[in-house]
Amino acid sequence: MQAIIEDKAKEPGFTNSVVFNLVMRRNPDLCKGVVEAALGFELSKISYIETEKTIQPKLTSRNVRLDVVAKADGKMIDIEMQVAYEPSLARRARYYESAMDTDALKSGVPYHELPESYVIFFCKGAPFGKGCAERRFAMMDALHPTEKMALDDGRTVVVLSAGNWAEAESPSLSRLLKYIHTGNVDDGSDDLTSRLENAVRELREDEDNMGYMTLAEQLEILERTADEQLAEKDEQLAEKDEQLAEKDEQLAEQRRQLAEKEEQIGRGQSIKELAVRLISEGRGEEFMKAASDDAAMERLLNDGE
């Protein structure tokens, strides 16, 4: 256990959960820059930042632990750093949004005061495959897709694929996703990514922060590490299942071909026996005519059974 903690803590980068949370919380300007790059529009000010925010709608509900929650221009924004593959990303986003809504709207407050909410997932890989760096989801009318009518309920889920950083339309977003994916900053760059990397280095070098991982944070790293390992194993098992399914299909096809060959061999043997019998009976001409007529040959074979 200690070895895992030390390995995670030795050179933690921006995608490390603890480092990510600390950098975002202690540097509102950087948090603002990250959110602006993700959403594609400017914010006037980040007025509130909380990390590892835990929400439990009710005692019997599953609690939610959000990486970074920020308030800006009347909007609620959840920023999640997703390093491991998450097969239930969509349902997780749905639950996060509902938990944020429950937390934001107090008893007696009218629904129109529910703020706009954004759940942003920075995924180190490419959860939806190659070819697209940014996907933005909102509630749309499914019965009349050509009308493109949105429900306008104020909810948006943004999924950013760092593995597809080169496909991002915005240069700032492309650089940020590349930094998340590779951990490297382009030489001579003085944009958001270089400032993020400087904040990460300062955090690591600051002697006061040598013990910045509390027991709870260490346990969190262990938990997330275990989750990553389980997710990786699930992915490997799914891949093996797929390979086994393909092998089963191949075996079934081989069996079918073998059965077909056996049937052909059996038919050939039956035809040979029929020829010998008919020739011995003086019906060789009848057999020769049937040789070019499948239906006639089938009748002769059936008559001999």
Structure tokens at 269: 């043997």
Residue 284: which pLDDT band, with cuts at 50, 70 and 90? confident
What is the mean predicted confidence (pLDDT) over 119-126?
A: 90
| Contact present, 100 and 137 (Cβ < 8 Å) | no
- What pTM was estimated for this model as a whole? 0.63
pLDDT value for 188? 61
183: alpha, beta or left? (left if phi > 0; alpha if psi -120 to 50): left
For residue 56, give Cα distances in angstroms to 66, 70, 118.
11, 18, 19
pLDDT value for 207? 46
Residue 295: which pLDDT band, with cuts at 50, 70 and 90? confident
What is the mean predicted confidence (pLDDT) over 24-51?
A: 91
For 99, the 3-state DSSP assignment is helix
Distance CA 274, CA 210 (A): 92
pLDDT at 8 over 50: no
What's the helix, strand, coil split of the chain in %, to 5?
55, 15, 30
For residue 234, give Cα distances in angstroms to 159, 223, 228, 237, 268.
22, 16, 10, 5, 50
pLDDT value for 265? 80
Kindly state the percentage of the chain with pLDDT values over 70: 84
Top mean pLDDT of 51-65, 158-172, 278-292 is at 158-172
Please, what is the average pLDDT of the chain? Answer: 82
Tell which residue, 55, 82, 59, has the closest CA to residue 69: 55
Would you list the domain boundaries of the chain?
2-213, 215-305
pLDDT tens, 148-175?
898 889 999 999 999 999 999 999 999 9
pLDDT value for 1? 41
pLDDT tens, 201-213?
888 777 455 455 5
